[in-house]
Amino acid sequence: MFRIVVFVFVVVLAGCNGCPGALTNTQVDPVRFSTEPLRFPDTAVGAETVLQLELTNPSRVRQTVTIAVDAPFFVPPSYEVPAGGTEALSITFRPEGPGEASAVLQVDEGEVAVSGLGLPPPMCAGAACRIGRFDVTTMQCTTDLAPDGVGCTDGCVEAGQCASGACVGTTALCDDADVCTVDACGDQGCVHVPRECPASSDPCQVPSCNSQDGCTTRDADDGTVCGAESCIADEVRVCISGQCVARPRPETARCSKTWVPLVIPASWDSKLAWDAVNQRIITSVGGLTWSWDGSSWAQQFPPSTLPAGAYEVAVDSWRKRVVAWSGSDTYEWDGTTWLHRGSEPEPRTAPALAYDAKRRRTVRFGGGGLNGHGNDTWEWDGARWEKRLPTHVPPGRAYASMAWDPVREKVVLVGGADTNFARLSDTWEWDGNDWRLVPVNTPPDRAFRGHAHLEPAAPLVDAGGRRVRHRHA
């Protein structure tokens, strides 16, 4: 019995031979990581973003690191990194209020600076029986149904109540008993749009409307030119008492003792647009308005003109208006004159302008400003400009091309120049709610573009200072 016990003891000692030396030679190096500061993307209050920090364990034993950071940044209190392996530590930024936030992330004995900007959630407008709110998951405005039975009015309903998201009640009466207005009801309540009377085939009769007879005509102002003008003719046809008659051209007339241009004046940045009222191309050069009827240019003499200088245009096909943006002023051509509609939003040089025919809005993007080229999106509904706050936006730019795609019902933005005037070649689409980068092959980098805003069936016209090229697209 004694021999057996001794034998086992010897075997155990032999098996442990050299163990203490092996444990003594095992080296434990600290976990490695980058100490470069971490900057989180701007994050709305109520939302969160996550960045990762790689932890590398160079040792041959598993290590547990201690981690700590102050709110509004959050990490687990400890983290295990396998021997010879790498793990990604997730750091969460969850802003508790708007403004800059910063802290120091402690990883064992090391430190990493972390920072981020908390954004106030945008105010989301609601509607009748719809409650607006900001969805931190999608980062977009949305609406929820108001509870059934809640009182409501949407401009077209009086003393209504909500029912499944609709305002139900007594329909508002919008009849103003005026035959010269078109009565309708919209989001703002009853509206009475002036009736557009059809144009007269007689150049000395202009459309008019009165509350008793409705649409009729009246005599054009005496002296209104009513026939083809030729500055080499001795007579001119003008309206007198509603009749188009020939009269000798006076010495003080417009054509007296002047050279007669046979082409439109030279211009490096004029824009062309379709005048749906007169069925012609319209442009403004140096503050002078010209029209193209398919064979020749004719100068127009509206009561009000578009100021000289650079401008952008879009065609509002619904209201039959040409919308022009010049510096910080909005103008509209109604077929007769240029109407000044306001001086907002902030000044911009060479923004992109296009008409969204589906939503009946003129869209304006970017342009050069005091602080570089902007990336803001605005929409004109015919009465006011509204700034849009999409989740995704193209980089700031000016001199970009933008047009309406009637097949896919989207506004397409291409190219332009950034703040440093480097040419861009990316393509973006606007669907009325957000911008989307289109990953497609694009034309060469381009800026200082030129294009005409025409209706789909209209001819394509290119004016280049001294020559005019006309072809059907």
Tell me the average pLDDT of the chain: 82
Of 468 and 363, more confident: 363
pLDDT for res 168 = 87
- Least Cα distance to 455 among 265, 345, 293, 322 occurs for 322
172, 194, 216 — which closes off a domain? 194
- Give the Cα separation of 9 and 255 in Å (integer): 128
pLDDT for res 16 = 44
Residue 368 forms part of a structural domain: yes
Residues 166 and 290 in one domain: no
Residue 200 forms part of a structural domain: no
pLDDT for res 225 = 86
Average pLDDT in the 159-172 region?
85
Residue 222 forms part of a structural domain: no
pLDDT for res 380 = 93
470 pLDDT above the threshold of 50? no
5 pLDDT above the threshold of 60? no
Residue 29 forms part of a structural domain: no
Average pLDDT in the 137-161 region?
84
Average pLDDT in the 139-166 region?
85
pLDDT for res 134 = 84
Residue 204 forms part of a structural domain: no
- Least Cα distance to 55 among 111, 113, 107, 115 occurs for 107
Residues 97 and 140 in one domain: no
Domain count of the chain?
Answer: 3
Residues 307 and 402 in one domain: yes
pLDDT for res 24 = 44
pLDDT for res 261 = 53
Over the range 424-451, which residues count as b (16 or more CB within 10 Å of their CB) and which as e? Answer: bebbbbbeeebbeeeeeeeeeebbeeee
Residue 108 forms part of a structural domain: yes
Sort strands 312-316 and 297-300 into parallel, antiparallel or unpaired: unpaired
197-230 residue pLDDT tens: 999 889 999 999 988 888 999 999 998 888 776 6
pLDDT for res 173 = 77
- Give the Cα separation of 309 and 417 in Å (integer): 20
Q: Which two tokens stand for residue 120?
A: 């106030």
Residues 298 and 428 in one domain: yes
Under the banding of pLDDT at 50, 70 and 90, the label for residue 472 is very low
Average pLDDT in the 435-454 region?
66
364-415 residue pLDDT tens: 999 998 889 999 999 999 999 999 999 999 999 999 999 999 999 999 999 9
Residue 240 forms part of a structural domain: no
The CATH number of whichever domain residue 96 belongs to comes to: 2.60.40.10
Residues 189 and 324 in one domain: no
Kindly state the helix (H) or strand (E) to which residue 22 belongs, with its residue range.
Answer: helix 19-24
Highest mean pLDDT among 16-30, 244-258, 274-288: 274-288
Which of 173-182, 299-308, 377-386, 451-460 comes out lowest in average pLDDT?
Answer: 451-460
Residues 56 and 81 in one domain: yes
Residues 6+ apart with CB under 8 A from 127: 143, 154, 187
Residues 6+ apart with CB under 8 A from 142: 124, 132, 133, 134, 135
Average pLDDT in the 95-102 region?
93
Residues 375 and 356 in one domain: yes
- Give the Cα separation of 128 and 380 in Å (integer): 23
Residues 180 and 320 in one domain: no
108 pLDDT above the threshold of 50? yes
61, 96, 119 — which closes off a domain? 119
What percent of the chain shows pLDDT beyond 90?
Answer: 44
Residues 156 and 298 in one domain: no
Residues 326 and 443 in one domain: yes
119, 146, 170 — which closes off a domain? 119
pLDDT for res 259 = 53
Residue 167 forms part of a structural domain: yes
Average pLDDT in the 65-80 region?
94
Average pLDDT in the 418-433 region?
93
Range of the domain at 187: 130-194
Angle among Cα 142, 144, 146 to the nearest 5 degrees reads: 145
Under the banding of pLDDT at 50, 70 and 90, the label for residue 262 is low
What percent of the chain shows pLDDT beyond 70?
Answer: 83
- The string of DSSP codes covering 99-123 is EEEEEEEEETTEEEEEEEEEEPPPP
The CATH number of whichever domain residue 385 belongs to comes to: 2.120.10.80
Residues 76 and 134 in one domain: no
Of 49 and 463, more confident: 49
324-345 residue pLDDT tens: 988 888 999 999 999 999 887 7
Residues 276 and 390 in one domain: yes
